Structure 1
Amino acid sequence: MREDCKKYCYEHSRRVEFHETDLAGIVHFSNFYRYMESAEHAFMRSLGHPVHGRAAEHGIGWPRVSASCEFRKPARNDDVLRIRVTLEEIRTRSVRYSFRFYLDPEDDPIATGKVAVACVQFKDGEISAVPIPEPIRTDLKAAAAAAKS
């Protein structure tokens, strides 16, 4: 029985590689943070706002300011993870995401995570939080609204 039926904005799939596993043959915990970032970047690309490709255009970046992950069941080499991305909150200068990891989308998630990213500008060697550019904010809000309907 599914733990939750929460709607999500985007689903990203990836196969676990051998080098991502530890001596016990399961995915090393640190890789889940990489998977969350990879899923977030894929989601942003799907909206037409690649994190790296358009950063120069807007003069912004998206550093992580908070991240957490809870592990329930292991993933192993060659497993295909389905990572569901949900927009939890869109603020003026930051976005909060949640992630659910599945081996089988009909089962409970094997892991869950949360990430908060800040919209920042790099200028003269300084980093400062800035408002999310309107085209990006509009598309994020549309994705969040579509997931709720």
Structure 2
Amino acid sequence: MSDYAETTVRVRYAETDQMGVVYYGNYFTWFEIGRVEFCRRLGFEYKRMEIDDDSMLVVAKASCRYKNPARFDDLLTIRTRVSESKRRIISFEYEIVQQASGEVVATGETMHVICDRQGRPRSLPEKYRKYFPPGRA
């Protein structure tokens, strides 16, 4: 992946299941961590976009492909980038890599509709458009 931001997480014991591997739902939490940190690295806080500009990135679609198991205490790198940007839609791609082996643990994508607090679709405010140029990556 190119043009991505990286964030590191360590697998906590509570994130694993009875088989000793990460419970599948936790990958979506990690995608969110990657997305929030991606925005922070671009120069703005996700929270400020919601509070100051009445713009929420509502998840409309999410997918994850599991490739290799992650286990308790593994250090993982979450790689995040924008894969598509339109007037009211922003999509992100994710790749989670085990640091010790370099193996890809999972890949995923989320598609977000920009909405106001009442859940009505709206256009991305002008001041954020430079961070999410139109088109596909």
- What's the TM-score, normalizing by structure 2? 0.90
Read off the aligned partner of 1:136 and give its amino acid letter.
Y
Matches within 5 A, 1:108-127: 108-122=103-117, 126-127=118-119
Give the superposed CA RMSD.
Answer: 2.0
Q: 1:46 matched to which residue of 2?
A: 41
Once the two structures are overlaid, the 10-residue window that deviates more, 103-112 or 25-34, is 103-112
Partner of 1:9: 4
Q: Does 2:52 match 1:57?
A: yes
Is the 1:21–1:28 Cα contact (8 Å) retained in structure 2? Answer: yes
Between the two proteins, the alignment pairs up a number of residues equal to 136
Q: Retained in 1: the 8 A contact 2:49–2:56?
A: no
| CA distance in 1: counterparts of 2:88 and 2:103, whole angstroms | 32
Spell out, residue by residue over 1:85-104, the C-alpha distance to the aligned partner (whole angstroms, 9 max, x if none): 12110111011111011013
Percent same amino acid among aligned pairs? 25
Q: Which residue of 1 aligns with 2:15?
A: 20
* Cα contact 1:16–1:77 (8 A) shared by 2: yes
Query: Deviations for 1:42-92, whole angstroms, at most 9, x for unmatched residues?
Result: 111112221223312111111110000010110011111101112110111
Dislocated runs of 4+, deviation >2 Å: 104-108
2:82 corresponds to 1:90: no
Q: Is contact 1:8-1:84 (8 Å) kept?
A: no
